[in-house]
Amino acid sequence: MSPTRIAIAGLGAIGKTLARRISDGTLPGLTLAAIASGDRAKAEAWLKSEGIACPVVDLADFPKLADLAVECAPASIIEEICVPMLKAGKKVMVLSCGALLPRPHLMELAKAHGGQIIVPTGALLGLDAVTAAAEGTIHSVKMTTRKPPVGLKGAPYLIEKGLDMDKVTTPTLVFSGTAREAAKGFPANVNVAAALSLAGIGPDRTTIDIWADPGVTRNCHSIEVDADSAKLTLAIENIPSENPKTGRITALSVIAALRKLNAPLRIGT
């Protein structure tokens, strides 16, 4: 069987970890085929320093070079990454999944051309159980996120409300609303809420409270799901990566999902 060719869009905290792990050959049946970066020269210099041989290309070139593209770039360029791949009937693994909520046409494009959008569990946990519960009836899904203020800095919602994260000295509830509203107001901070909503009862019935908490050093998410099959109480404390907004486990979740693509034994839903 020929190897599955993987492209990476975005060579940041997640993309660099992926590039290292795919190129070192520890993921059977996968090869690193292409990378797209916001800064081509910087990307080429980093790849050289790591001894990774991989072309840096334009996003439009992905469909001819790769079978699956991992989107780990700013949410604002999700269309540029997904549209060419999906039109070619290929797969895209999307990390900026909050940006999927206002873009149902991307799912339609996947359906029309036989492509697929894969949202990995990412910085969260329990999406296996939530998707299983969704095959029955889920009554409610509530999430609480608690991050160090620096992990929320720059969010459009905070800027709009004039909330300065440098001035937060006590735990502060900065947002309470639906996953859809959270994805819009915090596009680089709570993709996890979007993933949870897509797994369960959708972005308008999934709710989230976001706390800026100077007392925590990790990105903490807790989830309560009430369903006719089970009651779930889930919690994760993510150690930040080189990007304080992004937990280290996110790239590992992508690697685990990629490993499952061709695995002879597949664990979990």
Ligand X SMILES: O=C([O-])CC(=O)C(=O)O
Ligand Y SMILES: NC(=O)C1=CN([C@@H]2O[C@H](COP(=O)(O)OP(=O)(O)OC[C@H]3O[C@@H](n4cnc5c(N)ncnc54)[C@H](O)[C@@H]3O)[C@@H](O)[C@H]2O)C=CC1
Contact residue for ligand X among 17, 197, 207, 219 (CB under 6 A): 219
Stretch that binds ligand X, among 63-71, 202-210, 242-250, 254-262 (CB under 6 A): 242-250
Q: State yes or no: 123 annotated in a binding site.
A: yes
Contact residue for ligand Y among 3, 4, 5, 12 (CB under 6 A): 12
How many CB atoms within 10 Å of residue 176?
A: 13
CA atoms of 222 and 216, how far apart (whole Å): 14
Does 219 help bind ligand Y (rule: CB under 6 A)? Answer: no
Does 192 help bind ligand X (rule: CB under 6 A)? Answer: yes
Q: Does 113 qualify as catalytic in the annotation?
A: no
Identify what 11 binds: ligand Y, ligand X, none; CB under 5 to 8 Å per kind.
ligand Y
What's the full length of the chain, in residues?
A: 269
CA atoms of 103 and 151, how far apart (whole Å): 26
CB of 186 to ligand X, least distance (A): 8
Q: State yes or no: 191 annotated in a binding site.
A: yes
Any alpha helices (H) in the chain, and if so which ranges?
A: 13-23, 40-50, 62-65, 78-87, 104-113, 127-134, 156-161, 179-185, 191-199, 249-261
Six token digits for residue 43: 């990307």
Q: Tell me the per-residue interface mask from 118 to 157 with ligand X, x by CB under 6 A, - otherwise.
A: -----x----------------------------------
Q: Are 119 and 144 in contact (CB under 8 A)?
A: no
Residue positions in the annotated binding site for NAD(+)?
Answer: 123, 191
